[in-house]
Amino acid sequence: MDDKTIGNGSEEVRIGFFICHCGSNIAGTIDVEAVADYVRTLPNVVVSSDYKYTCSVAGQDMIVEDILKYKLNRVVVAACSPLLHEKTFRAATQRGGINPFFFHMVNIREHGSWVHQDRALATQKAMDMARGAIARVKFHKALEKRREPVRQSVLVVGGGIAGIHAALTMANAGKKVYLVEREPTIGGHMAMFDKTFPTLDCAACILTPKMSEVGSHPNIVLWSYSEVTEIKGYVGNYDVTVKRKPRYIKEDLCVGCLDCIDHCVFKTGNTDDEFNQNLSKRKPVYIPFAQAVPRLVAIDPAACTHLNGGKCEQSCATACDRQAIDFEQKETFEHIGVGAVIVATGFKPFDAHRKPLYGYGRFPDVYTALEVERLVCSSGPTGGDVVLKDGSKPKSVGIIHCVGSRDHQTNRWCSRVCCMYSLKLAHLLKEHTDAEIYNFYIDIRTPGKGYEEFYERLQEEGNHFIRGRVGDITDVPIIPEEEGRMIVRVEDSLAGFVRRIPVDMVVLATGLEPREDASEIRRRFNISCSSEGFFLERHPKLAPVSTTTDGVFLAGCCQGPKDIPDTVAQAGAAAAESLVLLDVGYVEMEPMTAFVTEKYCSGCKTCLPLCPFSAISRDEEKGVAVINPVLCKGCGTCVAACPSGAITQNLFEDRQIFAEIEELLVHA
């Protein structure tokens, strides 16, 4: 290996040290001036100064100017986490004319001021950390970033409105898109909604054109009833395996005539229709809803007599002119390569059974909001008639807000959309039934364009709003008017007493949760999640669609509860970020990879199976290990495992680390 180190031999090491106040974030707990004064006394330090916001343009300029003025060849900045500003300061170092890897960063905020209270001790710790960095940076070497081309295609996971919008945006920009959806159709939760707030647009009318566009777009490969099972590689060059579950229909032959459904031996449905929230039945051979995309039937192996080994005349198969039904179909796997991934896997509605006091599953006419969406929808199980289980129309409806949200027993977060969808359902229920509508709320949260106005409109329409968290729903009457009805017991916190409101129908405004398999998906795509389980964006404000894995972006409710406008905006942003990656055309690979010093390598193969990225192979001719720098992620496992010390990792060389540790421990 060519030793490019400046100052390791003849040249004098000249270090510039810069410590940041970060406003009061650091300076509030650490005496930054004292640290700067101390570091100035250390060997090889030519200049040491503090600055209020080192990451600002002025702060960066100060570094550049000092490099030129003092002929610096090393830079150390003590500030926040390298995750935030390492790039910034490396760039500044480069602008000063030095290789950016002669820069080193000390994290005295997350590892210092934010976690300590004792000013003297925190200051001492900052001094120790700075001294370690000064010792280590002497041994830094000039490194070059490697460039790799980016594949001009993207994988979108999830075909709800987020995935649909992201896919269309990318496809319209001329990129190849693979859209993978778990269910037989795209459309997600939005396809189940009747109307959308606050404009009361018909959800299907605005969604289905986009769905058909996905289905027919020349740049989109749509794989429904499929799941991503494996993803390997790195930003710009991901290798993806997609499992295509058998739908027992030859997709190239089925034209969606639906004759097979008519001819199924079951004359009526025999299994719960998930799309209608189990309020109706469907046949084993089915299409989720009329405007499903792709318009292909699927056969449910759990409900089909033949697929369960039972005797069946298979009239669906004989009814198909095109012989599209194939009971022998097995799952298949597709292997694709993409440059970027957009994860848009959506949410799960809160399970109302978890709030037993609200009687869901106990009283027949307690519904979840999503069930009511289907009830009021003209293509729903009742054709849009809001009728109770006994066939009557409700005269009085209670809508309970915040079910499973803002609740320390279940989920603490606000699900953001429930207030508005409750208002929408209140309006629709009133329109359909002319019932008295009672909204039981904690706070009404209507931040959004036209949202507050919609709330006012609902008040003017004569809906009742009662502020209080409902205690329970009971069927035990105390006055004749309550007989045979459900009674909502609630403390009206504006009136200041407990009320009993008899109703015929209860709607539970259930909140939004991470999907059940969110943590599995998270591990598959190597992204993080917040404590509640929603996927974590790289920065809550400034990188809201990126993740900690480069080239993997987030859109929609998998990142947190949000309404349709916000979901679409975020999906557009995720597409734009992906486009940046694809259009730049290359990615710069960090040089902190490991390499083998051949003369020390005995060819023992210890490292080969340890590499989680399969980056190590063996050169059989030379009998030594070889690390592919493109695949190496710099985890360091092989470095630690090598019995002959033949593997070195850039930026984590032994002499760098030991120099740092020695200085850190001087006072220990």
Which residues of this protein are in contact with another protein, per CB under 8 A? 356-357, 359, 362, 474-476, 478
- The partner residues of 601 in beta bridges, in order of sequence, read none
- The nearest distance, CB 502 to another protein, in angstroms, is 15
Nearer to another protein, 353 or 655 (CB): 353
Nearer to another protein, 314 or 474 (CB): 474
- The nearest distance, CB 204 to another protein, in angstroms, is 38
Nearer to another protein, 353 or 539 (CB): 353
- The nearest distance, CB 215 to another protein, in angstroms, is 46
Nearer to another protein, 426 or 487 (CB): 487
- The nearest distance, CB 488 to another protein, in angstroms, is 14
Going by C-alpha positions, the residue among 186, 89, 191 that lies closest to residue 133 is 89
How far is Cα 602 from Cα 618, in angstroms, rounded to an integer? 11
Please report which residue ranges of 217-344 form alpha helices under DSSP H: 259-263, 315-319
**Token digits for 410?**
């279940």
**For the CA atoms of 495, 499, 503, 507, what is the dihedral angle to 10 degrees?**
70
Cβ(132)–Cβ(661) under 8 Å?
A: yes
- The nearest distance, CB 482 to another protein, in angstroms, is 11
Going by C-alpha positions, the residue among 282, 287, 264, 284 that lies closest to residue 272 is 282
Three state DSSP letters for 113-126: HCCCCCHHHHHHHH
- The nearest distance, CB 487 to another protein, in angstroms, is 11
- The partner residues of 281 in beta bridges, in order of sequence, read 272
Name every residue whose Cβ is closer than 8 Å to that of residue 258 and which is 6 or more positions away in sequence: 287, 297
Nearer to another protein, 116 or 354 (CB): 354
- The nearest distance, CB 475 to another protein, in angstroms, is 5
Going by C-alpha positions, the residue among 9, 5, 41, 18 that lies closest to residue 93 is 18
- The nearest distance, CB 484 to another protein, in angstroms, is 11
Residue 20 DSSP class? E
- The nearest distance, CB 361 to another protein, in angstroms, is 10
- The partner residues of 624 in beta bridges, in order of sequence, read 619
Nearer to another protein, 407 or 563 (CB): 407
- The nearest distance, CB 486 to another protein, in angstroms, is 10
- The nearest distance, CB 476 to another protein, in angstroms, is 5
Nearer to another protein, 327 or 363 (CB): 363
- The nearest distance, CB 505 to another protein, in angstroms, is 17
String of DSSP letters for 362-402:
TBTTEEEHHHHHHHHSTTSTTTT----TTSPPPSEEEEEEE
**Token digits for 46?**
């030519």
Nearer to another protein, 431 or 475 (CB): 475
- The partner residues of 286 in beta bridges, in order of sequence, read 298
Name every residue whose Cβ is closer than 8 Å to that of residue 562 and which is 6 or more positions away in sequence: 416, 417, 556, 570
Give the burial string for 264-285 (b: 16+ CB within 10 Å, else e).
bbbeebbbebebbbebeebbbb
Residue 110 DSSP class? I
Nearer to another protein, 362 or 605 (CB): 362
- The nearest distance, CB 558 to another protein, in angstroms, is 31
Helix axes 119-137, 32-40, angle to 10 degrees: 40
For residue 471, CA distances in Å to 28, 236, 423, 474 come to 46, 53, 21, 10
Nearer to another protein, 175 or 485 (CB): 485
Nearer to another protein, 256 or 477 (CB): 477
**For the CA atoms of 284, 289, 290, 291, what is the dihedral angle to 10 degrees?**
-130
Nearer to another protein, 322 or 353 (CB): 353
Give the burial string for 84-112 (b: 16+ CB within 10 Å, else e).
bbbebbbbbbbebebbbbbbbbbbbbeeb
Nearer to another protein, 434 or 472 (CB): 472
